[in-house]
Amino acid sequence: MHVYIEYLLIENIIINLIILYVTKGITRTKTSKLRIFIAALIGSLYTLVVFFPPLQFMVKFSIKFSISMLMIILAFNPDRLILFLRQISTFYMVSFAFAGSIIGIFYILNSNFNAIKFSFGGLEELTKFLAMGIVLAIILIRYILQFHRSKFSREGCMANIIIELNQRQTQLLALIDTGNSLKEPVSQLPVVIVEYGELEGILPGLIRDMYSYGKQLDLEAMADMMERLGTDISFRLIPFKSIGNDSGILMGFKPDRMGIHFDDEFRELKGDIIVAIYNDRLVEDGEYRGLLHPEILE
């Protein structure tokens, strides 16, 4: 099979451009198209060393890695070490994703795949699998990034909270929900919604019995329970609306003490807060067990 150097150079320039542009997008680096093109050209020219026997020493790992670093410096001109490490690690991640996608597609579509003698049948076949592999890799990288960015943004709004009632404590992870505008209708105190399973250990036995028998929505049972408890605990009934539920009632109480671990510090919440008992799962994966009212952080 004949190899045309100009085709090889063009293909490698295109691949390097795509990898560098994806790296630029992931790391959100500002640079010029000219810098990226020069870096892609240098990386492409390096592939020609395989045609020159005297230059075979340049195929060593140390030389390859040096060329990668040179490409990153030429393309992005990082001014900090941490930024350079982020860019070069992303560069390799994208490169491996492209290579893996190309080999994976070739393996699936080629019944005569041989891992020991892996090669393409010609320029046309190489171009076809390169195109499919690059498209698949971009789709996968985009999906993974969207997933992780949404996850990280949610984790940035997470906080550990401590709720104390009758000298008993529970600790749980809660989401600071900007969409949570629920307030107790009489006092207008902000409401923190917490799953029943996280509060069960600190609630009085009468309340646990009511939830065990499924009477938490029985107004008569609620009134009887509140009368029997007296002043031991300050209970409130909180009406709410949600998607698919025009009206509902949550039972809530005023905790004796509540604190929050947020921004690497512990804050004692001094103001009055209502904790509403939610007898279900807030999220299926159990990533968090409570919803914090944003006003409690002010």
- Please give the mean pLDDT across all residues of the chain: 76
Q: What are the structure tokens assigned to 266, written together?
A: 């512990």
DSSP 3-state assignment of 200?
Answer: coil
Q: pLDDT tens across 127-164, in order?
A: 666 677 677 777 777 766 665 555 544 545 778 889 99
Q: What are the structure tokens assigned to 125, written together?
A: 């076949």
Q: pLDDT tens across 42-51, in order?
A: 888 887 776 6
Buried b (16+ CB within 10 A) or exposed e, 262-296: beeeeeebeeebbbbbbeeebeeeeebbbbbbeeb
Among the residue ranges 4-18, 19-33, 114-128, 133-147, the one predicted with the least confidence is 114-128
**Domain 158-297 in CATH 3.30.450:** no
171 vs 79, 165, 213, 289, 290, CA distance in Å? Answer: 43, 12, 25, 10, 10
Please state whether the predicted TM-score (pTM) of the whole model is above 0.75: no
Specify the DSSP element, H or E, that contains 134. Answer: helix 123-155
- The residue with greater pLDDT, 174 or 286, is 174
Residue pair 290/194 in contact (Cβ under 8 Å)? The answer is yes
Residue pair 172/198 in contact (Cβ under 8 Å)? The answer is yes
Q: Please, which pLDDT band fits residue 210 given cuts at 50, 70 and 90?
A: confident
Q: What residues are paired with 164 via a beta bridge?
A: 169, 257
Alpha carbon 71 to chain centroid distance? 29
- The residue with greater pLDDT, 221 or 32, is 32
Q: What are the structure tokens assigned to 61, written together?
A: 């790992």
Domain coordinates of the chain in residue numbers? 5-154, 158-297
Residue pair 7/123 in contact (Cβ under 8 Å)? The answer is yes
